[in-house]
């Protein structure tokens, strides 16, 4: 029996349904929980600002849960290989357990670490806790990775049902001597001067119990009307589990089983439509795993020739929610304030950046990476490429969102726009999504002067649409 085992926490910041933790407990010795802030280990994608804020909160609550279970969470920073080496020396641990990450840099780093540990006779085992199925386990009949979602989803549904989630372990045994730990506050994960995180604090409860609460709330209320409600950014129609899933505060298996169990009193269509979204999460990880350049390079290589028109001023207007299109601006301000944006609005705002402004999708990807609390390499990269048309199973080139039409269709009462663009709040519904078309007296009555209180559109959508279609045409013409 080993004296002690290291449990290396990564994107699995929970005690329930945690296979690596279960294995460390089953080994029979003491458990030393360790989190490593490994900023080099993330390759081109060091943590963004919103992610750092979330991580602080999640580690603080994990520390408390572990303390209640009888052990102290050890915090260290530096290259993971070095830190693990150091901690093994400082303790009598003889084994290291972790749950797998699937980002290319993490895969390379972890493979190396596992080899090194085993070469020295240290037990090193990794587990799946972040996905319903391993990315290499779902294949076409030819044995190749899927490139289209629908057949991928079909193959996923033909797999055995994901294993039922495991309960959290009972009390953990503490080791005789603990390695030193950094202080969480010393890591500087929280923003100061200025502290821009007020809106994040108001919107989220990072940590395992916050995740469980969100799931329960979702199943109690929004799940019933999910197929339609999920498209209404003015209401709570989605699960908002994305940051919790990203950090592994809840597992997709837990979500799958809880939602599927609701099928007894909620329509199959609603349940199936939500499970399908979990399927998309699987699919994006599958794509990143098999195409590790996904975050940097267009998945369809011909898009390397796309005539993008980078423009720092237009990019800044988009980032600040000052494009003059209320639906886009509302979304970008929601993002800045809460660290999250409704899915429907993400598509509208992303389509505007890429197709109306012709700004490279990588610029949008980078901004989302920094500002989203759910920033996830696979989801972010695959989704931006989907909108841009360069991705797997992507939107066809002629699918260009009309920010006015989308606003009128999905925010018809204007709840969403009025919340985030208060300077337009007094405009009537029929012009709220297109204030530049409002009669002068309507604007005056609503106390809006375009160009002073709210910008005129930074680009005319109709012309921008024609320009985008022409840009895609040029791609085809040069393909010979």
Partner DNA sequence: TTTTGAGTTGTTCGA
Partner DNA sequence: GTCGAACAACTCAAA
Q: x-or-dash pattern for DNA, window 407-436, by CB under 7 A?
A: --x---------------------------
The answer to whether the beta carbons of residues 311 and 357 sit under 8 Å apart is yes
Q: Look up 187 and say whether it is catalytic.
A: no
Kindly tell me which residue out of 26, 148, 304, 437 binds DNA, with binding defined by CB under 7 A.
148
Q: Look up 384 and say whether it is catalytic.
A: yes
231 binds DNA (CB under 7 A): yes
- Candidates 152, 170, 39; CA nearest to 106 is 39
First-last CA distance in the chain: 66
Residue 114 vs 139, nearer CB to DNA: 139
459 binds DNA (CB under 7 A): no
Residue 105 vs 395, nearer CB to DNA: 395
Catalytic residue among 249, 277, 363, 365: 277
Residue 33 vs 403, nearer CB to DNA: 403
Instruction: Tell me the closest approach of the beta carbon of residue 228 to DNA, in angstroms.
Output: 12
**73 CB burial (10 A radius; 0-12, 13-18, 19+):** buried
User: Near DNA by CB under 7 A, which window of 127-135, 307-315, 403-411, 421-429?
Assistant: 403-411
Phi, psi of 236 (to 5 degrees): -85, 95
The answer to whether the beta carbons of residues 363 and 438 sit under 8 Å apart is no
386 binds DNA (CB under 7 A): yes
Instruction: Tell me the closest approach of the beta carbon of residue 269 to DNA, in angstroms.
Output: 14
- Candidates 39, 397, 53, 37; CA nearest to 195 is 53
User: Near DNA by CB under 7 A, which window of 99-107, 164-172, 389-397, 423-431?
Assistant: 389-397
Beta-carbon neighbour count of residue 165 at 10 Å?
19
Q: Look up 361 and say whether it is catalytic.
A: yes
Return d(Cα 339, Cα 360) in angstroms, integer: 22
Residues 36-75 close enough to bind DNA by CB under 7 A: none
Catalytic residue among 384, 386, 402, 420: 384
Q: Look up 277 and say whether it is catalytic.
A: yes
User: Near DNA by CB under 7 A, which window of 69-77, 147-155, 171-179, 427-435?
Assistant: 147-155
The answer to whether the beta carbons of residues 218 and 224 sit under 8 Å apart is no
Catalytic residue among 8, 98, 361, 386: 361
DSSP category for residue 352? I
- Candidates 349, 386, 379; CA nearest to 364 is 349
User: Near DNA by CB under 7 A, which window of 23-31, 169-177, 182-190, 390-398?
Assistant: 390-398
152 binds DNA (CB under 7 A): yes
Residues 260-319 close enough to bind DNA by CB under 7 A: 277, 280
Instruction: Tell me the closest approach of the beta carbon of residue 173 to DNA, in angstroms.
Output: 43
The answer to whether the beta carbons of residues 59 and 33 sit under 8 Å apart is no
Return d(Cα 332, Cα 345) in angstroms, integer: 9
Phi, psi of 123 (to 5 degrees): -65, 130
Return d(Cα 94, Cα 124) in angstroms, integer: 9
Kindly tell me which residue out of 116, 209, 343, 442 binds DNA, with binding defined by CB under 7 A.
343
Return d(Cα 251, Cα 271) in angstroms, integer: 17
Instruction: Tell me the closest approach of the beta carbon of residue 406 to DNA, in angstroms.
Output: 5
The answer to whether the beta carbons of residues 102 and 290 sit under 8 Å apart is no
Kindly tell me which residue out of 47, 105, 107, 155 binds DNA, with binding defined by CB under 7 A.
155
| Alpha-helical regions (H) of 183-325 | 198-203, 208-220, 226-229, 242-246, 252-261, 268-290, 312-319
Kindly tell me which residue out of 288, 319, 402, 427 binds DNA, with binding defined by CB under 7 A.
402
Residues with active-site annotation: 277, 280, 308, 343, 361, 384
Question: Site residues (CB under 7 A) for DNA?
Answer: 140-142, 144, 146-152, 154-155, 231, 277, 280, 343-344, 347, 383, 386, 393, 395-402, 405-406, 409, 461-462, 465, 469, 473
């Amino acid at each position: 029996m080993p004296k002690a085992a290291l449990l290396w926490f990564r994107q699995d910041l929970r005690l329930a349904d945690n296979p690596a933790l279960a294995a460390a407990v089953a080994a029979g010795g003491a458990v030393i929980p360790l989190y490593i802030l490994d900023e080099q280990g993330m390759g081109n994608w060091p943590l963004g600002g919103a992610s750092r804020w979330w991580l602080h909160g999640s580690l603080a609550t994990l520390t408390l849960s572990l303390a209640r279970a009888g052990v102290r969470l050890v915090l260290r920073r530096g290259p993971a290989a070095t830190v693990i080496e150091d901690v093994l020396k400082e303790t009598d641990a003889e084994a290291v357990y972790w749950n797998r990450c699937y980002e290319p840099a993490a895969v390379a780093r972890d493979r190396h670490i596992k080899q090194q540990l085993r070469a020295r006779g240290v037990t090193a085992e990794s587990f799946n806790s972040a996905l319903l199925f391993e990315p290499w386990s779902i294949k076409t009949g030819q044995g190749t990775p899927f490139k289209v979602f629908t057949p991928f989803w079909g193959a996923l549904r033909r797999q055995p049902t994901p294993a039922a989630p495991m309960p959290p372990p009972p009390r953990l045994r503490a080791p005789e001597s603990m390695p030193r730990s950094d202080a969480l506050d010393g890591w500087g994960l929280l923003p100061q001067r200025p502290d821009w995180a007020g809106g994040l604090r108001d919107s989220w409860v990072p940590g395992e119990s916050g995740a469980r609460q969100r799931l329960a709330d979702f199943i109690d209320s929004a799940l019933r009307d999910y197929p339609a409600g999920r498209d209404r950014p003015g209401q709570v129609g989605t699960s908002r589990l994305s940051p919790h899933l990203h950090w592994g505060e809840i597992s997709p298996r837990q979500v799958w089983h809880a939602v599927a169990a609701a099928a007894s009193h909620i329509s199959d269509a609603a349940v199936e439509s939500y499970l399908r979204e979990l399927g998309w999460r699987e699919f994006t990880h599958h794509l990143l795993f098999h195409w590790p350049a996904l975050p940097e390079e267009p998945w369809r290589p011909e898009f390397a020739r796309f005539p993008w028109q980078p423009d720092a001023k237009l990019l800044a207007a988009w980032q600040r929610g000052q494009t003059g299109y209320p639906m886009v601006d509302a979304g970008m301000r929601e993002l800045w304030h809460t660290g999250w944006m409704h899915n429907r609005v993400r598509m509208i705002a992303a389509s505007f950046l890429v197709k109306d402004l012709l700004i490279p999708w990588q610029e949008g990807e980078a901004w989302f990476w920094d500002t989203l609390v759910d920033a996830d390499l696979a989801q972010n990269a695959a989704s931006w490429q989907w909108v841009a048309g360069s991705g797997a199973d992507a939107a066809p080139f002629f699918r260009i969102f009309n920010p006015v039409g989308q606003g009128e269709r999905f925010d018809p009462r204007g709840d969403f726009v009025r919340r985030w663009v208060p300077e337009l709040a007094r405009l009537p519904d029929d012009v709220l999504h297109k204030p530049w078309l409002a009669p002068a007296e309507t604007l005056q009555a609503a106390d809006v002067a375009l160009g002073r209180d709210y910008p005129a559109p930074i680009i005319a959508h109709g012309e921008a649409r024609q320009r985008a279609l022409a840009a895609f045409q040029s791609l085809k013409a040069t393909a010979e």
